[in-house]
Chain A
Amino acid sequence: MSSGASVSALQRLVEQLKLEAGVERIKVRPAPASGLGVSQAAAELQQYCMQNACKDALLVGVPAGSNPFREHRSCALL
């Protein structure tokens, strides 16, 4: 690789890192770096899971028959 390319690549990297370091300190911005602690971020992920668990067919299963991929089974009434 020519050294010319690596100089400009490094300059871009430094600019990008400066930008990211700046983002870190602004805790007021809503997203992406609102500076949430992991405990709070994790709690929100967990809450989303719990709220939507009942709708998740792969998690809780759906009543037989309402699942389009399940084979139709016929029951014989004697």
Chain B
Amino acid sequence: MCDQTFLVNVFGSCDKCFKQRALRPVFKKSQQLSYCSPCAEIMATDGLHENETLASLKSEAESLKGKLEEERAKLHDVELHQVAERVEALGQFVMKTRRTLKGHGNKVLCMDWCKDKRRIVSSSQDGKVIVWDSFTTNKEHAVTMPCTWVMACAYAPSGCAIACGGLDNKCSVYPLTFDKNENMAAKKKSVAMHTNYLSACSFTNSDMQILTASGDGTCALWDVESGQLLQSFHGHGADVLCLDLAPSETGNTFVSGGCDKKAMVWDMRSGQCVQAFETHESDINSVRYYPSGDAFASGSDDATCRLYDLRADREVAIYSKESIIFGASSVDFSLSGRLLFAGYNDYTINVWDVLKGSRVSILFGHENRVSTLRVSPDGTAFCSGSWDHTLRTKNYLFVSLQVWA
């Protein structure tokens, strides 16, 4: 994570003691002031209460973490794959590329399905955002963003708009229009403003609100119409790379994952983090809720995917193999939650049996790292995007006890 405070060499009058000295920018209650070094140091210890020192706060944090681990360990009586021992093993899977969507000139960074199970929006490094019809592979809309590295894109639930953003630090909403005379870029609406790149965005249950995650370490909920910030979520210690909203039946929560190796579950109304999980050993690139909403999976640069159960409040499964050494960039569940599809930086997609913890299939089909992967809303197919400039929609042919001659 890069340090976001800068030392600027300014010489002038200190805002506290008014002496002429070399000044440093200092933030007091989100207001920026310029203090000289001695005043800055005094201010640093200002916030401490009596009997508190940096060291005592650190040790209190450590002991609380230890207590949490103890509490969690008490509930850990068995592993998920042990519970699932009696479940029938899955047969051989054959999933083939059914469609190849060609058209991006550069790395595909993100994609999302429309609720109509047919349209897809994708965004790429060269700033292009394209809406495809996945049945026919036709491009329906295309817009060029004013920035490169469009890392996030999302389809509105109504299917009438898309949201995207990236290095411009913003999330913009484009209404989709079939009128050939209308320029899509003209109707663009800037909704979210962050102080660093936009890494992920998602509409909530309606077209009216958007949830964003950013390299500035925060997530935020915005009103699309007014652009107003409705709630912000602070707690990650580094860039937030991904987020996923809980399936609607389970209420107003979402999970986010970041470069601080933490996955955090948030209450959207209060802005509070209600649960946090820190078992990954590197950046968490992707998080996705289990279809029932009671668990979520994460994919990380530590080459593992993990499953966290929210009610047991702990990691319950880890999907890894010694032979897999490249990071997982993107994960998604099949409709029933039995399969976990994960795209990796070694150009493959691994399909995991969620319950048993074993890999059921490897899919080779990309010529560069898989950057994004989503299962379609009705679970009939999944789409993977890659740095090799294409999107491939894969479907599946089940082979069980059949003898091919």
1/0 contact string of A63-78 vs chain B (CB within 8 Å)? 0000111110000000
Residues of A within 8 A of B72 (CB): 24
A4–B87 CB distance below 8 A: no
User: Within the complex, what minimum Cβ distance (angstroms) separates B75 from chain A?
Assistant: 5
Given A24-B313, A32-B265, A69-B98, A59:B334 Cβ within 8 A: yes
Given A1-B5, A7-B57, A38-B78, A17:B68 Cβ within 8 A: yes
1/0 contact string of A1-31 vs chain B (CB within 8 Å)? 1111111111111101111110111000001
Given A49-B355, A52-B335, A53-B338, A38:B57 Cβ within 8 A: no
Residues of A within 8 A of B45 (CB): 3, 7
A58–B80 CB distance below 8 A: no
Q: Does B220 contact A (CB under 8 A)?
A: no
A17–B61 CB distance below 8 A: yes
CA distance A42 to B177 in the complex (A): 46
User: Within the complex, what minimum Cβ distance (angstroms) separates B325 from chain A?
Assistant: 27
Q: Does B225 contact A (CB under 8 A)?
A: no
Q: Which residue of A lies closest to B237 (CB)?
A: A9
Q: Which residue of B lies closest to A68 (CB)?
A: B135
Given A24-B313, A58-B335, A11:B380 Cβ within 8 A: no
CA distance A70 to B98 in the complex (A): 7
B379–A46 CB distance below 8 A: no
1/0 contact string of B280-312 vs chain A (CB within 8 Å)? 000000000011101100000000000001111
A-facing residues in B60-109 (Cβ within 8 Å): 60-61, 64-65, 67-68, 71-72, 75-80, 83-84, 87, 90, 95, 98-99
1/0 contact string of B34-58 vs chain A (CB within 8 Å)? 0000001101111110000010011
A-facing residues in B1-49 (Cβ within 8 Å): 3, 5, 24, 26-27, 40-41, 43-48
CA distance A35 to B75 in the complex (A): 7
Residues of A within 8 A of B57 (CB): 7, 10-11, 14
Residues of A within 8 A of B316 (CB): 38, 41-42, 45
Partner among A4, A33, A51, A67 whose Cβ is within 8 Å of the Cβ of B380: A67
B64–A21 CB distance below 8 A: yes
1/0 contact string of B149-175 vs chain A (CB within 8 Å)? 000000000000000000000000000
CA distance A30 to B212 in the complex (A): 27
A3–B54 CB distance below 8 A: yes
Q: Which residue of A lies closest to B78 (CB)?
A: A39
Q: Does B138 contact A (CB under 8 A)?
A: no
The A/B interface has a contact count, at CB < 8 Å, of 218
A-facing residues in B323-377 (Cβ within 8 Å): 334-339, 354-355, 375
Residues of B within 8 A of A68 (CB): 117-118, 135, 380
Q: Does B275 contact A (CB under 8 A)?
A: yes
Given A13-B61, A14-B61, A70-B395, A57:B75 Cβ within 8 A: no
Partner among A23, A42, A55 whose Cβ is within 8 Å of the Cβ of B275: A23
A45–B337 CB distance below 8 A: yes
Q: Does B140 contact A (CB under 8 A)?
A: no
CA distance A4 to B61 in the complex (A): 17
Q: Does B185 contact A (CB under 8 A)?
A: no
In the A-B complex, the 4 residue pairs with the smallest Cβ-Cβ separation, listed nearest first, are A61-B398, A52-B336, A17-B64, A4-B44
Taking A2-B26, A24-B68, A35-B311 as known contacts, 14 extra A-B pairs with beta carbons closer than 8 A to each other, sorted by chain A number, are A4-B43, A10-B57, A14-B57, A17-B61, A21-B68, A38-B316, A39-B83, A40-B312, A42-B84, A43-B83, A59-B336, A69-B99, A69-B381, A69-B395
Q: Hey, which bits of chain B sit against chain A, CB under 8 A?
A: 3, 5, 24, 26-27, 40-41, 43-48, 54, 57-58, 60-61, 64-65, 67-68, 71-72, 75-80, 83-84, 87, 90, 95, 98-99, 117-118, 134-135, 234-235, 237, 250-251, 253, 265, 272-276, 290-292, 294-295, 309-314, 316, 334-339, 354-355, 375, 378-382, 393, 395-398
Can you list 30 residue pairs at the A/B interface with Cβ under 8 Å?
A1-B3, A2-B44, A3-B41, A4-B44, A7-B47, A9-B237, A10-B58, A12-B235, A21-B64, A25-B71, A31-B311, A35-B311, A36-B309, A37-B78, A39-B78, A41-B294, A44-B294, A45-B290, A55-B336, A56-B334, A57-B380, A57-B381, A57-B395, A57-B396, A58-B381, A58-B396, A59-B335, A67-B380, A68-B118, A68-B135
